[in-house]
Amino acid sequence: MISHCLLTVKVNIEDVMRAYYYYGFNEEVTMLLQHFKLIEDSRECYRTVEFVFMLEAQGVLSINNLSKLDLMQKQSHRKLISSVSEELLDGIDSIKLKRQILNQIPTLFDMSVCVVRKHLQAACRIRDSNKLCTAVESLSLPRMIKTVLRDNQAT
C-alpha cells in the first residue's frame, strides 16, 4: 500500500512578491495568496502594505476590473487586503471600496458560470474560446445567459 503525504509550505509576502515580479498577477500569485498568512512582524506587515500599494499604483486590481476576476482571484485579493490592519490602509478610499466589493457574497449564478463552462469544455472537448462560443450559441438558453457564458470568460 502506498500512502500519500501532503506537505504544506508556509508562504510569506516575499514569496508572493517574488512570484509577482516574475509572472505578474496570474494563477501562481493567486495560489500563493491562498496560502499566505501574515506574520505579526513589523517588516512583514510593512512589505505587505508596500505590495498592496504597488498593486494599487499599477492598477493591476483596479475597481473596474474586480468584476472580471474569477472567484479564486477575488478571494486571494480579499485575503491580501484583509491581512493588513485597517488602520494602515484606512486612508485610501479605493481600498475601502475594494474591501466592500470583495466582501460581498457571490451569487449562485456567479459561481455556476465557471462550472458550466468547464462542463461544456469537457463534454465537447473544447480547447479554444471560438469553439466555446459556438457551443454556447448552440444551447437552448436565454440570450442573457449565453452572453454571460460566452463573453465573461474571466469569471
Q: Is the pLDDT of residue 114 over 90?
A: no
The pTM (predicted TM-score) of the whole model is 0.60
152 confidence band (pLDDT: 50, 70, 90): low
Beta-carbon count within 10 A of 108 CB: 7
Helix (H) or strand (E) holding 23: helix 13-23
Measured CA to CA, the distance from residue 22 to residue 25 in angstroms comes to 9
Task: Dig out the grid coordinates for 134 from the structure.
Answer: 459556438
Round the average pLDDT of the chain to a whole number and report it: 79
Question: Dihedral of the CA atoms 55, 94, 27, 146 (nearest 10)?
Answer: -140
Measured CA to CA, the distance from residue 79 to residue 38 in angstroms comes to 10
User: What are the φ/ψ torsions at residue 153 (nearest 5 degrees)?
Assistant: -75, -5
User: What are the φ/ψ torsions at residue 37 (nearest 5 degrees)?
Assistant: -135, 120
Q: Is the pLDDT of residue 154 over 50?
A: no
Name, in order, each residue with C-beta under 8 angstroms of 96's C-beta and a sequence gap of 6 or more: 89, 90
102 confidence band (pLDDT: 50, 70, 90): confident
Q: Is the pLDDT of residue 91 over 80?
A: no
